[in-house]
Structure 1
Amino acid sequence: MPSERRDVTAGLPRKRMAAGLLITDPDERVLLVEPAYKAGWEIPGRCVEADESPYQAAIREGREELGLDLTPGRLLVMDWVPARAGRTEGVMAAYDGGTLKPRMHERIVVPPGELKGWAFCDPPEAAQRLPPLLTRRITEALTARADGRSYYLEDGVRVT
Structure 2
Amino acid sequence: MPDLAYYASLPRTRGAAAALLLDDLGQVLLVKPTYKEGWFLPGGVIEADESPLAACVRECEEELGLVPRLDGLVCVDWCSPQNGVDSVNVFVFGGTITAAEAGAIRLPPEELSDHVLVTPEKISELAPPHIARRMPHSLRAMAERRAVYLENGREQPFGAVP
Structure-2 change in CA distance of 1:120 and 1:51 (3 Å): same
Choose the corresponding residue for 2:117, options 116, 120, 123: 120
Counterparts of 1:115 and 1:136, CA distance in 2: 22
After superposing the two structures, state which structure 1 stretch, 68-77 or 78-87, moved more: 68-77
Partner-residue secondary structure (3-state), 2:70 = coil
Please report the TM-score for the alignment, with normalisation by the length of structure 2: 0.91
Q: Does 1:138 align with 2:141?
A: no
1:27 is displaced (CA, Å) by 1.0
Choose the corresponding residue for 1:51, options 49, 52, 77: 49
Identity over the aligned pairs, expressed in percent?
37
Counterparts of 1:125 and 1:48, CA distance in 2: 27
Choose the corresponding residue for 1:67, options 65, 68, 80: 65
Residues matched between the structures, number: 157
Structure-2 change in CA distance of 1:33 and 1:7 (3 Å): same
Q: Give matches, 1:36-115, under 5 Å.
A: 36-96=34-94, 98-115=95-112
Q: Specify every segment of 5 or more residues in structure 1 that has no aligned partner in the other structure, as ranges.
A: none
The structure 1 segments of at least 4 consecutive aligned residues displaced by more than 4 Å after TM superposition are none
Q: Deviations over 1:68-122 (max 9, x none)?
A: 02242211000000011142111000001x2222322111000011001110111
1:139 is displaced (CA, Å) by 1.4
Structure-2 change in CA distance of 1:86 and 1:36 (3 Å): farther
Partner-residue secondary structure (3-state), 2:124 = helix
- 2:10: which partner in 1? 12
Q: Which amino acid aligns with 1:133?
A: H
For the aligned residue pairs, the C-alpha RMSD in angstroms reads 1.5
Please report the TM-score for the alignment, with normalisation by the length of structure 1: 0.92
Q: Specify every segment of 5 or more residues in structure 2 that has no aligned partner in the other structure, as ranges.
A: none
